[in-house]
A and B are shown apart, each in its own frame.
Chain A
């Protein structure tokens, strides 16, 4: 870890930063199978927060609780000052507009082009008539061009997504989420199956954007090396509950038998 990063870590952990996402003792079960048990989480503004844990513990489910796609059975969830608990659909939609989302499976519309998929990130700002005619305002088109360029997709912008490689599709999903102009970015294993150099390049780009946009990132990451390198704070999800990971060094050997490094 570089010294400058240590310094920003200290700045980021100062208690003056507002909390954007808070979960307290959240539990979820699907039918009889309990997935998340007693999970608590606190993410302050401007940090990159990592979520790690073995496969099947409910990391994806946790991400979906934050944008309201999954409703917890128990516990307290507060996102951007909004209590998520059986609230009105319209409120949920306006909350989601502020949360960039990169699902684990990407969820791209594969028959549409890369550019069209990226433009979908701007739908919150687009009226019904424009939606219907599929006409996007010039400013959104320019924004999408900038993002496509930043992610190295401009030459492929007008190719249908199903013809793009896995890594390229991943970058389309990232661009679409950033197109939302979000306050929080939820990224579910968006670096997995990219090679290390590419993962690092994309992460650096996001951190740059993060500083420009004052973005808060919550990312699920299988690869602990990446989590250690890029996350300011980390939570581990275990079948018993969740724990804040404050000291990676002390923590690593303890779990190395469960998690791959």
Chain B
């Protein structure tokens, strides 16, 4: 029933393989003349991911704090969680469509789309990390008359800093991958070229672009891993 609905017919893969070989044949060798263009485009993608993550982090932190049930009452946390959940339901690609319609084509729409999804997703990770901190210093400090603001500054942020930084790094890795396709809807970056050359069936150019994306993602993941190892103390 379900298989019928999704048109699942495994034997279709066999002729499909033939198509794949034709495509690979066309794609190989990758078009090296596109090298500098793809570097420029991937740089734009990285900028979108970087700015989107940074602004999203700045925006999500207040929500992440307000959503933590060990700090605020249900009257505060529930609306915050609902809000974060709502903006999280749309992946960044759909947000990109919204912003392209609102403010027009270009990387700015891509940045805003990334900010939205990052806020929704990071905010959730943050309130969960904050709820996981050791309750003892929290209780000790409130027993000594610390204000909520002081609790956040001197207990919550230091105690959860490792998690917050690690989550932001993870989000950046994710956003690098996600923003490679933002260009498909005109929101800037390398995705624009990929979709254009796909449309003209110039697979050798597409292959070059994908190769660059592949290497970039590997490099970013590697750097982020190194940062984690070097600076984040695992307790």
Q: Which of A87-119 contact B (CB under 8 A)?
A: 92-97, 99-101, 103, 105-112, 116
Q: Kindly state the separation between the CA atoms of A110 and B150 in the bound complex, as whole angstroms.
A: 16
Contact of A250 with B by CB under 8 A: no
Q: Which residues of A contact B150 (CB under 8 A)?
A: 123, 126, 131
Minimal Cβ-Cβ distance residue in A for B161: A111
- Asked if A111 contacts B149 (CB within 8 A), the reply is no
Q: Which of B8-16, B94-102, B138-146, B209-217 contacts A (4 or more CB under 8 A)?
A: B138-146
Q: Kindly state the separation between the CA atoms of A87 and B146 in the bound complex, as whole angstroms.
A: 17
CB-CB contacts of A188-218 with B at 8 A, as 1s and 0s?
Answer: 0000000000000000000000000000000
Contact of B51 with A by CB under 8 A: no
Q: Which residues of B contact A123 (CB under 8 A)?
A: 141, 144-147, 150, 154
- Asked if A64 contacts B153 (CB within 8 A), the reply is no
Q: Kindly state the separation between the CA atoms of A50 and B145 in the bound complex, as whole angstroms.
A: 23
Minimal Cβ-Cβ distance residue in A for B151: A123
| B91 shortest CB reach to chain A, Å | 35
Q: Which residues of A contact B155 (CB under 8 A)?
A: 109
- Asked if B146 contacts A103 (CB within 8 A), the reply is no
Q: Which residues of B contact A101 (CB under 8 A)?
A: 140, 143-144
Contact of B202 with A by CB under 8 A: no
- Asked if A64 contacts B143 (CB within 8 A), the reply is yes
Q: Kindly state the separation between the CA atoms of A107 and B138 in the bound complex, as whole angstroms.
A: 7
Contact of B7 with A by CB under 8 A: no
Contact of A128 with B by CB under 8 A: yes
- Asked if A103 contacts B158 (CB within 8 A), the reply is no
CB-CB contacts of B145-175 with A at 8 A, as 1s and 0s?
Answer: 1110110011100110100000000000000
- Asked if B137 contacts A109 (CB within 8 A), the reply is yes
Q: Kindly state the separation between the CA atoms of A100 and B141 in the bound complex, as whole angstroms.
A: 10
- Asked if B141 contacts A120 (CB within 8 A), the reply is yes
Q: Kindly state the separation between the CA atoms of A92 and B147 in the bound complex, as whole angstroms.
A: 11
Minimal Cβ-Cβ distance residue in A for B140: A107
- Asked if B143 contacts A120 (CB within 8 A), the reply is no
Contact of B235 with A by CB under 8 A: yes
Contact of B136 with A by CB under 8 A: yes
Q: Which of B106-152 contact A (CB under 8 A)?
A: 134, 136-147, 149-150
Contact of A225 with B by CB under 8 A: no
A69-B142 contact given A108-B137, A111-B159, CB 8 Å threshold: yes
Q: Which residues of A contact B140 (CB under 8 A)?
A: 101, 103, 105-108
Q: Which residues of A contact B235 (CB under 8 A)?
A: 162
Q: Which residues of A contact B143 (CB under 8 A)?
A: 64, 67, 69, 96, 99, 101, 103, 107
A112-B144 contact given A69-B139, A131-B149, A162-B235, CB 8 Å threshold: no
- Asked if A124 contacts B145 (CB within 8 A), the reply is yes
Q: Kindly state the separation between the CA atoms of A177 and B161 in the bound complex, as whole angstroms.
A: 25
| B216 shortest CB reach to chain A, Å | 34
Q: Kindly state the separation between the CA atoms of A51 and B161 in the bound complex, as whole angstroms.
A: 38
Contact of A138 with B by CB under 8 A: no
Q: Which residues of B contact A121 (CB under 8 A)?
A: 144
Contact of A180 with B by CB under 8 A: yes
| A94 shortest CB reach to chain B, Å | 7
CB-CB contacts of A26-57 with B at 8 A, as 1s and 0s?
Answer: 00000000000000000000000000000000
Q: Which residues of B contact A110 (CB under 8 A)?
A: 134, 137
A109-B145 contact given A101-B140, A103-B140, CB 8 Å threshold: no
A-B contact pairs, 21 of them (CB 8 A): A92-B145, A93-B147, A100-B144, A101-B143, A103-B136, A107-B136, A107-B137, A107-B138, A107-B139, A108-B137, A109-B137, A109-B141, A116-B154, A120-B141, A120-B146, A120-B154, A121-B144, A123-B150, A123-B154, A124-B144, A126-B150
Extra contacts besides A97-B145, A131-B153 (5): CB < 8 Å: A93-B145, A99-B144, A107-B137, A109-B137, A132-B153
What are the 5 A-B residue pairs with the smallest beta carbon separation, nearest first? A107-B140, A96-B145, A97-B145, A107-B136, A101-B143
